[in-house]
Amino acid sequence: MNNAPLARNQKLLALQQSYIAQLPDKLAKIRAYWEQVQHSPDDSERFDELYRGVHSLAGSAGTFSFFTLGQLARQTEQQLKQWHGQPHEAALVQTINDLLAQLLESAAAGPEGKPAPVSETTPTVTKTQSAKQLVYILDDDGTHAEELADQLQHFNYCSIVFSDTVQLQKVMNTKPPAALISNVHLKEGPWRGTQFVQQSETIQQHNIPVIYVSGSMDWQTRLATVRAAGRAFLSKPLDVTAVVEQLAQLTTPPTEDPYRVLIVEDTELLAQHYANVLQNAGMQTEVLTDASQLLDRLPEFKPELILLDLYMPCCSGIEAAQVIRQNASYNSIPIVFLSTEQALGRQLSAMGHGGDDFLQKPIQDQHLIAAVSIRAQRFRTLKSLMIRDSLTGLLNHITLKQNLQAAIAQTLRSNSVLSFVMLDIDHFKSINDTHGHPCGDRVIKTLARLLTERLRKSDIVGRYGGEEFALLLPDTDVSVATRLVNGLREDFSRIGHSSTSYEFRVTFSAGIASTPPHTDMDSLIRSADEALYDAKHAGRNRVKMQLV
């Protein structure tokens, strides 16, 4: 060996990681092609693609230590060759189905041999993408289901179509999905979809969310889906964006940040008790025993609720509340007074001076938690309405810029790199003119969805203007950002948008600039904007980098 085996090993591990990441996609494709060739055995082009896909697995899997997978693929390859000569041989179809199920299973089991040590260098290709979520579709309406599966792929879902419950049950047992999209009725029988879900132990055990789809939207159908653990109901023909919205809601665990509560109470022991109670309920707290420090702590801690003692040595709670409210940006933070005060008149007067609620000491723990969390939650919702764009739910222009400012400062401090992307839908005006504004809005929503689904949690997506979006990608240099945005661009251009009359495709152009070299927000934005302008003038549907 002439090059250092250690470095080589590292590189191979990185490749293995990227192979593992692509595996679900490859299997989903094989599965989809198999469904298709069964419907049309004469489609030799499809069959070739299927055969090549399986053959390539047979040849590559072992190189990445998926030995069993490779052998199974080889068997599948041989069976497929036979099947091609006699496509109506039921036993062969069954064998192939079984083999495909085993393929999934052995891919899910991961590489064999000695467990691969965690590599320090993650491959850059997958760095900016989060893992795909697995979705099963139970639908025997071949082409539509395949189309849906195809479209979902662009939104970071890997979906597999099953046309019968037997096969689905088998695969589900070995690899439960993140969600199931099921027809209410199947060719196997009316209400077969809902029955299947109700009888499936796997679905119950893993609490797999189920989205039902049906051509009929009547009360009976809807009721049946609710009774059969349906978490959502969508009518056919399916709107892909609506499906993705439901999937996103159902498959992302509620990972909300804890509520931040500032406790102002001069009795240290009591303050600590409240803090403990709220912390045990999952909230984040900070205690101030001296109200005069309030103005210093507010901007940094950014509380979503202030718990204020009514009687303190330095000032009264009412006075403190009034000082807080003098600053317009703290106008909406809920303030809750705590006091032994029993007289209703005094309580009301406290509320009249900037307080939102009045809690009487001693207060039961449960009561405190409920009073605080309800108000904090409402505050958060209201705030999100103010900072988010109502159509897309993305950050609005102002908030985006605030975030950008902070991100630039953070990037310079940590000596890292930040990419800023300006992105504009091509020929948007003509979409509105041709298909109407509601249709244009749907295109915008679809792009917003694609961007949020595909970027990392640490990335920020905002709606910059009408059909203009901005992305903030921390720890990402221009070349990685370009590759990433180009991937998004290609995927977006493949999404079918439907208007009343026909389906159409839409593209976008993008410009990218980064910090460094830009150290202030204005020049960063200007540079990205210029790059976007370049992209538009070079013919649209492309990504351009800043000129250095």
Partner 1 sequence: LENVRQSPIRVLYVEDEDDIRMVAEIALGGDVFELHACATGQEAVSKAADLNPDVLLLDVMMPGMDGPSTLDQLRKLPSLADTPAIFMTAKVQPSEIQQLKSLGALDVIAKPFDPMGLADQLRTILEAA
| Residue 485, both tokens | 């945005």
Of the pair 111, 440, the CB lying nearest partner 1 is at 111
Among positions 25, 40, 44, 63, the unique one binding partner 1 when judged by CB under 8 A: 63
The H helix count followed by the E strand count for the chain is: 21, 17
Cβ atoms within 10 Å of 68's Cβ, excluding its own = 16
| Interacting residue with partner 1 among 28, 30, 50, 61 (CB under 8 A) | 61
Q: How far is the CB of 506 from partner 1 (least distance, A)?
A: 28
CA distance 147 to 212: 17
Nearest to 393 by CA among 458, 469, 333: 469
In the complex with partner 1, which residue's Cβ is closer, 185 or 483?
483
CB of 370 to partner 1, least distance (A): 54
User: Is residue 52 a contact point for partner 1 (CB under 8 A)?
Assistant: yes
On the 0-12 / 13-18 / 19+ scale of CB atoms within 10 A, 11 is: middle
Q: Does 38 bind partner 1 (CB under 8 A)?
A: no
Total residues found in the chain within this entry: 548
Q: How far is the CB of 4 from partner 1 (least distance, A)?
A: 9
Residue placing its CB nearer to partner 1 in the complex, 64 or 136: 64
495 near 154, Cβ under 8 Å?
yes
The helix or strand, by DSSP H or E, that contains position 419, with its residue range, turns out to be strand 418-425
> What is the closest distance, in whole angstroms, from the C-beta atom of residue 57 to partner 1 in the complex?
9
Of residues 70-99, those binding partner 1 (CB under 8 A): 70, 74
Q: Dihedrals φ, ψ of 38, to 5°? A: -70, -35
- Shortest Å distance, C-beta 140 to partner 1: 31
Asked if 56 is part of the footprint of partner 1 (rule: CB under 8 A), the reply reads yes
With CB under 8 A as the contact rule, the residue among 30, 58, 262, 473 that binds partner 1 is 58
Closest distance of CB 505 from partner 1, Å = 25
Q: Does 59 bind partner 1 (CB under 8 A)?
A: yes
**Eight-state DSSP code of residue 363:** -
Q: Is the distance from CB of 324 to CB of 316 less than 8 angstroms?
A: no
CA–CA distance, 314 with 317 (Å, rounded to integer): 10
Q: Is the peptide bond before 117 cis (omega within 30 degrees of 0)?
A: no
Residue 55 touches partner 1, criterion: CB under 8 A: yes
Question: Is residue 1 within the footprint of partner 1 (CB under 8 A)?
Answer: yes
Closest CB to partner 1 among residues 57, 485: 57
Q: Where along the sequence are the contacts to partner 1 (CB under 8 A)?
A: 1-3, 5, 8-9, 11-12, 15, 18-19, 22, 52, 55-56, 58-64, 70, 74
